[in-house]
Amino acid sequence: MATTRETVERFYAELVNDQRFELFDELLTPDAVTHGDVDQPARDAFVGADRIVRSAFSDAALHIDDVLVDGDKAAVRWTLTGTHDGDFHGTPPTGTSISVRATAVLRLRAGRIAELWQVIDVHSLLSQLAA
């Protein structure tokens, strides 16, 4: 079985960046949930967010800045970069290069991601698009 760090790094590298959605079953539990304003199935949340991000920033790439592991939990600090070349929530393409930071906490169960909490600096993103 992969370590917590290996699973988290694969999630971001292969599923998020490479869009290898066939890895959902390998990396996430069937009942994985993303916690936020509204808790929702992690797969649905991820696919919806990916669609929004890729349509507005076609060259989007997520870079892991830090991973801290404590047993079955991991804290991840990541940065998303890309070029605003598509509509983003009503904001037409600006050609602006963006860099957005986030922090995530993931809990694994039996070697797969079961829960995910993320705080994304949306204010910074919107400020960059308005500049």
Q: pLDDT per position in the chain (131 positions), as tens?
A: 899 999 999 999 999 999 999 999 999 999 999 998 899 999 999 999 999 999 999 999 999 999 999 999 999 999 999 999 999 999 999 999 999 999 999 999 999 999 999 999 999 999 999 86
pLDDT of residue 19: 93
For 10-36, letters b (16+ CB in 10 Å) and e give bbbebbbeeeeeeebeebbbeebbbee
Q: Which fold has domain 4-130?
A: Nuclear Transport Factor 2; Chain: A, (3.10.450)
Sorted by sequence, the CB contacts under 8 Å of residue 56 that are 6+ apart come out as: 84, 85, 86, 87, 88, 89, 93
Q: How many CB atoms lie within 10 A of CB 104?
A: 20
| Predicted local confidence at residue 37, as pLDDT | 86
